[in-house]
Amino acid sequence: MVDGKCLHPLMLAGTGSDVGKSILATALCRIFLQDGYHPAPFKAQNMALNSYATPEGLEIGRAQAVQAEAAGIPCHTDMNPLLLKPQSDHTSQVVLNGKPIGNRDAYDYFRKEGRDELKREVCAAFDRLSQRYNPIVMEGAGSISEINLRDSDLVNMPMARHAGADVILVGDIDRGGVFASVYGSIALQTPEDRKRIKGIIINKFRGDLRLFEDGRKMLEDLCGVPVLGVIPYYKDIHIEEEDSVDLATKSMQAERGKVNVAVVLLRHLSNFTDFNVLERDPRVHLFYTNNTDDLLKSDIIILPGSKSTLSDLYELRRNGVAQAIIRAHREGTTVMGICGGYQMMGVEVCDPQHIEGNMERLPGLGLLPVTTTITEEKTTRQVSFNGGMQGYEIHCGETHPYGDAASSPLVVFDNGQPDGYKVDAHCMGTYVHGILDNAPFIDMLLQPFAEKLNEANRTFDYHAFKEQQYDLLADHVRKHLNMDLLYQILQGDD
């Protein structure tokens, strides 16, 4: 509230997936914070493998955690009460209010039966959030014009109706067909929902903005809705991504004067934001690959988290990547595992309850003297360790030393509990996501390669970098968005 004025909830809805709703929600969270409000993000239902642990030890989509960070507040499950984590092409783990409630077949999940309970839960989460924050920056999912799913929709226009939200429709001009997608998305709404759409944002524009002035007027005349802004495409602002679709395109060419770090590109890779700091660290060249030759050229290999550890481990053995990792380590490469990658580095991974599938046991890479048993109960919590470092755990499984192997934890939590295993400076594993966000840990990981580093050899402050990027994003969007008109809409009587 600024000058006693509350703003309506705002929903960013899309003409399709990947039109930039999440990034625009992040920008608006920071803009409203800068303008003296107390905003919070909300997405009723998210589908992503990239999740995060709240301070209470519960699980939400990473995008909403990023948006909360941009808003300057702790993340909470009320910001993303329903999270779907795909396990195959047809099934997903369903996380409700931060806790898994089982796996669902897509057909069964999206049928009308049983949706009333989920609707009550997501609406209750919004109601609680709206009592504490203003405005609520809501995000839709995919396209708002999937009329075949209208009756079972929990996240788009039905949620906007519950919230009394003003809807801003986001279209992606970079993919083409923006006039048809915007006009069609509005035309396919019911008369009631059409009235909720108060503005249009054209996103990812390339070129001279003056060339779209006629297009802006045409859209407004066609749709009867103002175009609030045309947001240019950018390349020099770095915000954590929700999807991992572009990881394989990141350069695999080794660089002189830097430590070359290869992240193994797993089929079910999760929590890839673990590596954002290394991507920005000037001492490091990081790339994603499952090419055996690339792995053998790297200084450090990291096995990342996985939503399906046994399936990915089986694939690594089948395609020769497991053997390449073992060979690279034998020739001096550091190998580190995080979460599922830590499990794979052990002697074996066992699944006696068939939680992940039909395989009861697979031999691991044998780089760490540990054994893992997959468990039904999920560990989800934020952790502090080694004198002030921070991270979080999200995993199903317990890992212990194998046979008579001595305990050798990589880190020790503040409560005295050990985590992970360290053989030496070139071989280690941990359950802690976000461990690479801590400068002292990265310094330790890179120390064996100090002789390779050039003049860029300095510690990287990731927290300060992220804050700078949120401000740059807010400046970029504010410059091209009619904020005066947006505030008029959010303060209006209708």
Q: Which residues are catalytic, by number?
A: 339, 433
Peptide bond before residue 135 is cis, with ω within 30 degrees of 0: yes
Q: Which of 322, 325, 324, 329 is nearest to 349 (CA)?
A: 322
3 state SS of 396: coil
3 state SS of 52: strand
Indicate the pairing of strand 10-14 with strand 136-139. parallel
- Assess contact for 470 and 30: CB atoms under 8 A: yes
Burial 464-476 (b: 16+ CB within 10 A, else e): eebeebbebbbeb
User: How far is Cα 409 from Cα 426, in angstroms, rounded to an integer?
Assistant: 14
User: How far is Cα 179 from Cα 171, in angstroms, rounded to an integer?
Assistant: 9
Phi/psi-derived region of residue 36, left when phi > 0, alpha when psi is between -120 and 50, beta in every other case: left
User: How far is Cα 98 from Cα 60, in angstroms, rounded to an integer?
Assistant: 6
The H or E element that residue 23 is part of is: helix 21-34
CA of 177: how far to CAs of 185, 202, 231, 358, in Å? 12, 12, 16, 45
User: How far is Cα 62 from Cα 335, in angstroms, rounded to an integer?
Assistant: 26
User: How far is Cα 150 from Cα 75, in angstroms, rounded to an integer?
Assistant: 29
Burial 248-268 (b: 16+ CB within 10 A, else e): eeeebeeeeebbbbbbbbbeb
DSSP for 366-379?
SSSSEEEE--SSPE
Scanning the structure block, which residue is given the tokens 């609680």?
128
Q: Which residues contact 472 (CB under 8 A, 6 or more apart)?
A: 236, 237
Q: Position 336: which residue type?
A: M
Burial 417-426 (b: 16+ CB within 10 A, else e): eebbbbbeeb
**Could you give the count of Cα atoms lying within 13 Å of 29 in the half-sphere of its Cβ?**
31
User: How far is Cα 80 from Cα 96, in angstroms, rounded to an integer?
Assistant: 9
Scanning the structure block, which residue is given the tokens 């470092």?
389
